[in-house]
Amino acid sequence: MERKELLYEGKAKQVWSTADPDLVIQYFKDDATAFNAQKRGTIASKGVLNNAISERLFLLLADAGVRTHFVARPSEREMVVRKLAIFPIEVVVRNVVAGSLAQRLGRDEGEKLPAPVVELYYKNDALGDPMINDSHAIVFGLATRADLDTIVSTSLRVNESLKAFFAARNLMLVDFKLEYGRAADGAILLGDEICPDTCRLWDVSTGERLDKDRFRRDLGRVEEAYQEVYRRVVR
């Protein structure tokens, strides 16, 4: 399947049209940004690794009955997906305190949560993706009550599947971000990607961070961390 026209270029991916109006191609780049694009860099082979890791996780979720946009991975950096109208909402699910939650509520990173926490953020670069609640999402027309119910319940199911999958590979799923969209037939599907850019993954034995925090926090061995997740998840 051929890439036709560049529809959108984000920080880590491009989205291309195809001859089929229901399908687009996500092209995975090596570019990385953090802190609302104030920090920029590249991580060698990241696009290739994230594409393969995402495919593995989308297939796992499909097996668990989660509807996703994944169709095929025709090449190292290309993923064919269903075309979605993306909700301008980022859903974050957390199992362990880290990152912005630690800062906002003054908790120590690493504290295990007694139940998953679900947060919504308004996807808006100019505003730095502010946190919102259900009421904001509904009143400002980002999604309906029914949409949010589907999105949140699906996210919790995704969490259960991914947590178990990663635990079997000695990885702790600390937190992650999901995006959803509506397909032409009206179905709400899980979209975007699921990879070490969008998940925090800590080695269970050593606590070592094997995710984008190595880039964000200048911890070194960034590529090695993505390779290690690939090795545990895909191979």
Q: Which residues bind ligand UDP (CB under 6 A)?
A: 90, 92, 98-101, 129, 175-177, 198-200, 212
With CA atoms as reference, report the closest residue to 24 among 92, 68, 82, 66: 82
With CA atoms as reference, report the closest residue to 148 among 199, 65, 67, 87: 87
| Closer by beta carbon to ligand UDP, 23 or else 223 | 223
Query: Cβ 40 to ligand UDP, closest distance in Å?
Result: 14
Query: Cβ 171 to ligand UDP, closest distance in Å?
Result: 13
The total of other beta-carbon atoms located within 10 Å of residue 134's CB is 13
Which residue reads 């590979």 in tokens?
Answer: 169
Contact 84, 182 (CB under 8 A): yes
Query: Cβ 216 to ligand UDP, closest distance in Å?
Result: 7
| Closer by beta carbon to ligand UDP, 50 or else 198 | 198
| Closer by beta carbon to ligand UDP, 61 or else 92 | 92
| Closer by beta carbon to ligand UDP, 17 or else 99 | 99
C-alpha span between 87 and 228 (Å, rounded): 32
Three-state SS for 69-99 is CEEEEEECCEEEEECCEECCEEEEEEEECCH
Distance of CA 226 to the CA centre of its chain: 14
Distance of CA 17 to the CA centre of its chain: 21
Query: Cβ 22 to ligand UDP, closest distance in Å?
Result: 26
Query: Cβ 189 to ligand UDP, closest distance in Å?
Result: 18
**Distance from the first to the final alpha carbon of the chain:** 26
Query: Cβ 116 to ligand UDP, closest distance in Å?
Result: 12
Query: Cβ 94 to ligand UDP, closest distance in Å?
Result: 7
C-alpha span between 203 and 213 (Å, rounded): 13
DSSP 18-30: -SSTTEEEEEE-S
Residue 93: burial class (beta carbons within 10 Å; 0-12, 13-18, 19+): buried
| Closer by beta carbon to ligand UDP, 112 or else 185 | 112
| Closer by beta carbon to ligand UDP, 83 or else 212 | 212
| Closer by beta carbon to ligand UDP, 56 or else 94 | 94
